[in-house]
Every structure is written in C-alpha cells, then in structure tokens.
A and B are shown apart, each in its own frame.
Chain A
Amino acid sequence: MTSLAENKKAGAKAGDVPALFARTDLGRRRERAERTAQAALSGMALLVIIPLALIIIYLIVEAWPLLSLDFLLESPRRGMREGGVWPALLGTVYLVLMSLAVAAPIGILAAVYLHEYADDSAFTRAVQLAVVNLAGVPSIVHALFGLGAFVVFAGIGRSILAASLTLAIMTLPVIIASTREALASVPRSFREACWNVGATRWQTIRHVVLPNSISGILTGVILQVSRAAGETAPVMFTGAVFYKAVRDGDLFAYGLLDQCMALSMHLFTVSTQVPDVPEALPYATAVVLLFTVLAVNAFAIALRVYLRSRKRW
C-alpha cells in the first residue's frame, strides 16, 4: 500500500503523476465484481417472485370458465362433475378455526412460560426439544397419530373435532416459536422497569410484555392458517370425507362431531379420484384454496400494520 505522498514522489521520478483519486486497475476489477454480484443477487431475488406469479396466473387462466360466486356457494353435483365447493370451503374454515382455537391459547401461553418464567432446567430443555422435534414431524405422521390418538383411542371418531385437534398439534410448535420470537423483541429494559417497582412476573407480562408483542404473536398465529388449510393428509385420516351434502351457502352446516369436506382433500379428489371431471374444476378449486389462504395472509399483514402503528417505540 503506497501513501499518496509516496505515490507522488515515485511519479515525479518517473515523470507521470497519477491524477488524485484516479481509478486503478485493481479498482476497476473490484467495481466489475461489485456489479456482477449485485446483478446475480437481485436476479435470484426476482426468481423467487416468478413461480408465485406464474402459479397464480396459470391457475386463474385455467379456472376462468368456472369462476363465479355460485361456484363458491353451491354444493358439488353429479358426482363432483358440476356445481361448486361450498361444503369443502366451509369445512376448511371450520377445521382451521377450530384448530387455531385449540392451538393458539396453548401455544401462546406455553411460549410465555418458556420465555418469561422458565430458567434453564432439565424440564425446559425437554420442552424445547419436544417443540423442535414436533415441528419436524412430517404431516402424514401427524395424520397417523391423530387417527390413533383422537379417532380411535379417545373415541372421538372421524370428525371435525378429531381433525382439528390433529391440525392443532401440527401447528403448535410453530406458534410457540413465533410467539417466543415476538416476546424476545420486547426490550429487556421494559421488564427491568417493571420488576424494579415491584411488579410480579404476571403483572409485567400483562401490562407491558403482551401489549407490546401482541402484533407479532397474532401474525405468527394467523400465518399458521395457511398451513392448516393446505394440509391434506391429516384431515383425510381423521375427519374429512369424499362428499357431504350441505345446503348451499349454509354457514352452520356442520356440527363438531360431524365429518366434513375440506378444500385440500376435495382438490385431491377431483384431480385424481373422479373420472370425466371438467378440466377447469380442479383449477377452480385450487384458486378458491389459494385465495382463501392469501386473503388470510393479507388480513394478517393489515393487522400487523395496524397494531404496529399503535405501538410507540
């Protein structure tokens, strides 16, 4: 590395002084590498968008002839070859809401315990290990577990309840993980402030920690909707059926112990199990599933923005 002064001296001897701050050869190569890197990286980022855009466009184009409000609100007819998806849409909504009603309180409260109360003990390490491994269990295994534990052993039978419980166990570890992340984002100084005026842990959690992490917690929970809605195997084993007659547009068509149809399973059925289904039907079903999930995600984002805007730090 030569200093500017040395440069000048050497240049003076050789008769040519390089202009101040002039580009060097090495500098040119570094700038080229910089441009290449930026192009490659942004290209990869773009690649991520393309599949999503293609999926959406392709599905909508293929499904176009069938898309209508009637398709949403009617039951399938003529052995799935005509009509709409109402019983399946409704079934999916029931399953998802029920599973979250079970998984969200358990997951959030367990995460609060793990993050705010638990010290590093054999017990908490066991819970951590269970959470991590539960998250790694394939959904088909959850399905078998749900079948064995809820349908058969607990004697609930194949039903919305059994299927929801199965989905709840499947989403639980991710809810715990995302809740802990949200809790960790609350600055420690807030907790210190509370402890040092004599707040109990619960008062600290209730008055300061939860109000300041609720947006993150809720978004984490809501994002699990898409997973629960999309899974086929768990509901297929534990409560979803091939066909169930339901009045068109009836919101309260299912009881807790009824079996139900589900969009994911319905998609599987019309794509592979029924001959002579019009080509657009599976695509239209997929569009309904996809947009249900996207709508929920959009709601989650809106909720996060709203709650964030009320936060003051």
Chain B
Amino acid sequence: MNNPAAADYAIQTRDLSLWYGNFQALNNVTLDIKHGAITSLIGPSGCGKTTLLRCFNRINERYGSVRTSGEIRILGRNIYDEDVSLIELRRFVGMVFQRPNPLPLSIYENIVFGLRLHSERRALTRADLDAAVEGALTEVGLWASVRDRLDRSALDLQLDEQQKLCIARLLPLKPEVILMDEPCSALDAEATRAIEELLFGLRGRYSIVIVTHNMAQARRASDECFLMLMGELIEHGATESLFTSPKDARTLNYLEGRFG
C-alpha cells in the first residue's frame, strides 16, 4: 500500500481517459470511491458510466481495442501494474449485468463456477462447495426458496431470482468490489425493491458501485453519487446533498430532467 489514503477508498482513479479507436469515451476522470459504501454512477445514455465501470476490472479490454491513460487504483494497488493478474483482479472485482446472465448450468454449479475456476480440482471437497452454495444463497436471500432445487437449471428461475443468483455467484470468491451495470433495469418495481434491499444487506462487507439511469434508484439506494456527462465527471458528493443542493448548474439541469 503506497498510498496513504488507500485504506479509506476502494477505488481511486487519476486523470483516467479512455478511447475506443478515435472516440474519447472518458475524459480525465478523477474520483475516489469509498470502501464499503454503495456508490452510484448516474448520467444520460452514452455518458461513459458503463465504460468507467468496466475499467475497474479492466473488462473493457475484452470488448475490443481500447486505449487508456491515467491511473486506476483498487485498494491502493495500481491495476495497470505489470504484475497485476487480470484473472485475480476480476476475481476480486466482480460484475453484475443489466440482463441477468446465469450460465446454462444448475443453480448449484452456477454458484460454485468461480470457485472451480480458481481452485485446483482436488482442493475442493464436496463439503466446501456445499457450504459455499448455502452461504452465498443465504446472503442474497435465495436459500430458502431454492434449497430443494439446487440441481435445476438456473435458467428456470424467475428474472429477479436470476439476478440474485448472479450476485450470489460472485460471493464465494470473496470479492472486495461488486460492480453493477443497471442491475434492475430488466426488473419490475417489486423485484427492483428486493434487489435494492439486498444491496443494503451487502453494504459494509463489499464496496458496491452501481450504474443506473434511474435517478430515483440512485437517490434511494446509494450513499455516494457521481454524475457524468459526455465522458466527464461533473459532480460528486453524498447522494442526499447532490440531489438537494447540487453545485453545478449542469447537475441541476440533469436532475430536473431538462435533458438526458
């Protein structure tokens, strides 16, 4: 840990810029995301919030050619360092997507999928796996409803259960940061509320970054909020103060729905 403030922050970026070909998607983004908090990224479509989210586990690099400059530190560690392993990084910084994307496997196998990837085959006993499944499903509140059908296909679950499963799938890997890319936009109001409650339950143990274009959700469910416009960070602060007394005129315009 070569950064004195590192203990407080899960994610820090310094002058982060990113280009897709000639298109600059992020422009000198500098931010600090608090440890153990729920942080929301809001902004209109195409403002770069998903791109920024995908920087935090360098998954951007799997989506084609991107060029980045600047610095990203996760738990104080520069993730562009030579000896950073991408598979280890992604193990500790997991992502949840807009459409729930359970793998076409059983519920059980979905949960232990990550463990199997990161362990020697012989190192895992059945008891370890069972415990991991029960722990993860309990943490997301699915255990009671699926404990009797763990061997059924995860694709038979309802959409909100699938999304919970996708969150649970990350937990056996003991992640530090959970990135969520509009995790509720495919869900109805009831399911959205359930996921938000789940987020509150996970707060403290994990640092959660959630991208949303639903401002009500950002306001309800996050501690800190960042507003982005056209690849730039416009304003950030505690969610409540950003919504009630924005400092930047553009923030006010956006919050009042004048654009975006």
Interface residues of A (CB under 8 A from B): 119-120, 187, 189-190, 192-200, 203, 207-208, 212, 311-313
Contacts and interface: CB of A to CB of B under 8 A. Distances in A.
Contacts of B26: none
Given A197-B90, A198-B88, A198-B118, A312 B169 contact: no
Interface residues of B, number: 29
Nearest to A191: B62
B117 A196 contact: no
Contacts of B166: 193
A199 B90 CA distance: 8
A198 B90 contact: yes
* Chain A residues touching B, majority SS: loop
A311 B104 contact: yes
Given A198-B87, A312-B153, A313-B155, A212 B104 contact: yes
B227 interface: no
B93 to A, nearest CB: 9
Contact of B94 (A119, A189, A190, A197): A197
A113 B202 CA distance: 39
Contacts, number: 65
A290 B252 CA distance: 75
A192 B101 CA distance: 8
A190 B103 CA distance: 6
A199 B57 CA distance: 13
Contact of B97 (A192, A212, A312): A192
6 A-B pairs with the lowest CB-CB distances in the bound complex, closest first:
A189-B101, A198-B91, A197-B114, A198-B90, A196-B95, A198-B87
A199 to B, nearest CB: 5
Given A119-B64, A119-B65, A193-B166, A200 B87 contact: yes
Given A192-B97, A203-B117, A198 B173 contact: yes
B170 interface: yes
Given A189-B97, A196-B90, A197-B117, 15 more contacts: A120-B65, A187-B101, A190-B101, A193-B97, A194-B113, A195-B90, A196-B59, A197-B90, A197-B113, A198-B87, A198-B88, A198-B89, A199-B117, A200-B87, A313-B104
B102 interface: yes
Contacts of A312: 104, 153, 155
Contacts of B104: 190, 208, 212, 311-313
A194 B95 contact: no
A208 B104 CA distance: 8
Contacts of B114: 197-198
